[in-house]
Structure 1
Amino acid sequence: MTQSFHDLPREERLSIARRGTSHYSNQLALIDNADFRSPSRLAGWDIATLVAHTAYNASALVNLVDWANTGVETPMYPSPDARAEQIAYGATLIPDALRNLHDHTLVRLDVAWRDSSEQAWDNEVKTAQGRTVPMVETLWMRTREVWIHAVDLNQTATFSDIPRVVLDTLVPEIVGKWSNTGAGEGLVLVDSESGERFPVTPGAETTEVVGTKTGLARWATGRGAHGVNADAPQPPRWL
């Protein structure tokens, strides 16, 4: 029986987010300054761009936490264009400045969570994709971000490092996103260990992707087909 991240006690979710942040930080520490222009595992992005993106994501989540605590509407980003411009600017910073940005933003987010009122966790905010969610959702948003991008830093992290409850939540979430956007019609993901099936379009299952939960998560997020059947197609975009 799988367990969803969202069903865990809040303190446990917060702990997984913090562990993910530490894991990501440790991977970042392995990178020499001279290698910040090297490719990350995220197609089209070098290490500097990825580090800037992940740091600014923390700042954007602080906006949502502040919104929940004050009642003053504070979007994650002013606009999609502003978000892209911010990341592009951050990618031009020297490596030491990017490391400082990382350190500063992760502390800001952790302090914002720490100082939130009990009521604020349930107050509704709006994500950059326009979803209305309780502020506690920021724990999942950051958890997903840091555990996956730790792998994208292209050092020693792998999907096998990601806690099982994160993988168990991530795979059906991605399938649900595909279903909602009309992508991946006919795909069904099959957990080779449990036999659990995750159809994108129930009743119209024509293409099976079979693998461990780790392999399915890696494939579904577009990070490679290791761990799934050799004839698995390219996955649709999910974010």
Structure 2
Amino acid sequence: MQELGTALDPVTASTDRFVATVASLADAQVTGDTLISPWTRGHVITHVARATDSLCRLLAWARTGVETPQYASMDARAAEIEAGARRPVADLVADVRDTAARFEEAVRALPPAAWHTQVRMRTGEPRTPASLIPTRLRELEIHHADLDAGYGFSDIPADAARWIVDDIVEALARRPKTPPLRLEATDTGLVHALGTGGPTVSGRQADLLAWLSGRSSGTGLTAFGADEVPAAPFWI
């Protein structure tokens, strides 16, 4: 349980930071622009809450053995996000807090055998419950930056950013059409290689994460073995 608690600590801290930013917004700012147009801040915040619910469903699948899809359908997913996007800040904060508590409870309720159970993400990708913890952290941190409300990729703690980069690279490695690529973070020493023979993209870890997540075209990065920083490979 101590190891589990340690694994959840970055998620708890990330949740607190996300909630603090959401709580600092005025109701009129909920409809403001984000880094992932056409979604507004309300869409992004609601998505974070509904995505947390979806991870809880996958954890229930692992715990009970009863197949429980992450989402009923992509149309249902979109409708839930749209329905919650214009709520006042107080309601959004409560939603994020409540779903965060449910996620932690669901993780802690897993018996040892369930940690090895495979479930399927909405993309069809097989995962085990342990991998859903960095997925939750990734959702919080990347979408926190998406809010464009004073928290950027450079504000993500280095350990959390590294965990998220690792998670994205693992997802890319599972895709047979991912092009060869080498990543080097000049400030943290992080190195990842996907296949052989591709370009090396290097720069600060925060800039690598912004690029990998599709939020940057490569600002602050350098490419060796290519004329320019390539488009980041599709990972989700």
TM-score after normalising by structure 1: 0.82
- Identity value in percent: 28
Please tell me whether residue 58 in structure 1 is matched to residue 58 in structure 2: no
Secondary structure in 1 matching 2:201: strand
- Write the mapping of 1:122-133 to structure 2, written as runs, cut at 5 A: 122-133=116-127
For 1:196 and 1:65, the matched residues in 2 are separated by 30
For 2:188 and 2:45, the matched residues in 1 are separated by 36
**What letter matches 1:10 in structure 2?**
L
Paired residue for 2:235? 238
Shift of 1:169: 3.5
**What letter matches 1:228 in structure 2?**
L
Secondary structure in 2 matching 1:136: helix
Structure 1 pair 233/20, CA: closer, same or farther in 2 (3 Å)?
Answer: same
Q: Which runs of 5+ in 2 are unaligned?
A: none
Paired residue for 1:81? 75
Paired residue for 1:111? 105
Shift of 1:55: 0.5
Of 189, 208, 221, which residue of structure 1 is paired with 2:213? Answer: 221
Q: Which runs of 5+ in 1 are unaligned?
A: 1-7
Of 3, 18, 21, which residue of structure 1 is paired with 2:15? Answer: 21
Structure 1 pair 196/16, CA: closer, same or farther in 2 (3 Å)?
Answer: closer
Secondary structure in 1 matching 2:222: coil
Aligned residues: 229
Q: Is residue 30–residue 155 contact of structure 1 (8 Å, CA) maintained in 2?
A: no
- Write the mapping of 1:142-221 to structure 2, written as runs, cut at 5 A: 142-178=136-172, 180=175, 182-183=177-178, 185=179, 187-193=181-187, 197-203=191-197, 205=198, 207-221=199-213
For 1:43 and 1:237, the matched residues in 2 are separated by 18
Write the deviation string for residues 9-50 of structure 1: whole angstroms up to 9, x where unpaired.
432211111111111111111211110110112232110100
For 1:150 and 1:195, the matched residues in 2 are separated by 25
For 1:155 and 1:191, the matched residues in 2 are separated by 26
Please tell me whether residue 11 in structure 1 is matched to residue 8 in structure 2: no
Q: Superposition RMSD on alpha carbons, in Å?
A: 2.6
**What letter matches 1:227 in structure 2?**
G
Q: Please say which of residues 90-99 and 133-142 is displaced more in the overlay.
A: 90-99
Shift of 1:199: 4.1
Secondary structure in 2 matching 1:58: helix
Q: Is residue 215–residue 226 contact of structure 1 (8 Å, CA) maintained in 2?
A: yes
Shift of 1:173: 4.1
**What letter matches 1:218 in structure 2?**
A
Q: Is residue 71–residue 77 contact of structure 2 (8 Å, CA) maintained in 1?
A: yes
Shift of 1:53: 0.4
Paired residue for 1:34? 28
Q: Is residue 23–residue 90 contact of structure 2 (8 Å, CA) maintained in 1?
A: no
Q: Is residue 134–residue 167 contact of structure 2 (8 Å, CA) maintained in 1?
A: no
For 2:16 and 2:189, the matched residues in 1 are separated by 33
Shift of 1:181: 5.1
Write the deviation string for residues 146-200 of structure 1: whole angstroms up to 9, x where unpaired.
12212112122222333333333433543454452525x3543332246665344
For 2:44 and 2:184, the matched residues in 1 are separated by 31
